[in-house]
Amino acid sequence: MALALVAVLALVAGVQAYQLHRLDDRLAATDRRLAEAQRADGTRLDGLDKRAEALEKEAGAAFNPEAVASAVLPSVFRVRAGQFTGTAFAIGKPAAGGGTTLLTNFHVVESVFDGGGRKVFLERTDQRFEATIVKVDKAKDIAQLRTTAKFTGLVAAGTPVKSGQQIVVVGAPLGLQDSVTTGVVSAFRKDEDGSGPVIQFDAPINPGNSGGPVINGSKEVVGIATAKARDAEGIGLAVPIETACDTFKLC
């Protein structure tokens, strides 16, 4: 009887050991399947994250004139120089001594400058700020202004414009402040007469837009609106922002 009992116990122990071994195998297989599933899920999630990032970049790169105008308008002003009005905009970081640096066209402040004056006024809604003509370049038709008031400076684009690039032009045509028009860069014209290269664009502009910023979809300044072709439609010209930055050591 004792021998029989020992044999039965040994058989039971063997069966249990076999079952435990099979259970371990099944658990190991389950762990492997779970790990593989987790890796696959991780790969899919990584793919989804990259796709989401790509979509966010595409959305950010989409041309949105309303968003551009909203960001830019607080930095753009109507300039009153004697009896002449135009546009100026804050550019770059605040100067070391405080205040704000602005850019406009020379012909906007020409009458005051040639008359020996240096004082002009920046107007925005019902506010008026005094500004000083600091430097000018008559040949390139650009002028640097300075005011003690503090405004957010716009950022100059780091890359040249390309034909077909969408842009926003902000200014005060005929004295009408905060006017916004849109269009595309028609061409980049190289220096042909010694006055420097110009940007040709098709956004509508009128007298008073002179000195206003030409902005790309990333809310960066690419040029300074200067003139429109006479007896033609859709031909506006701007001084490239790098011309002003290099001339006045700004940006």
**Which residues carry out catalysis?**
107, 141, 210
The total of other beta-carbon atoms located within 10 Å of residue 62's CB is 10
Q: List the beta bridge partners of residue 224.
A: 213, 239
Q: List the beta bridge partners of residue 127.
A: 124
Based on C-alpha coordinates, what's the Rg of the chain? 34
Say which residues have a Cβ less than 8 Å from residue 36's Cβ, sequence separation at least 6. none
Contact between 76 and 212 (Cβ < 8 Å): yes
Q: List the beta bridge partners of residue 199.
A: 188, 238
Rounded CA-CA distance 194/163 in Å is 22
Choose among 174, 77, 182: nearest CA to 125: 77
Element containing residue 25 per DSSP (H, E): helix 2-61
At 125, give phi and psi (nearest 5°): 50, -120
Say which residues have a Cβ less than 8 Å from residue 196's Cβ, sequence separation at least 6. 139, 140, 239, 240, 243
Residue 105 identity: N
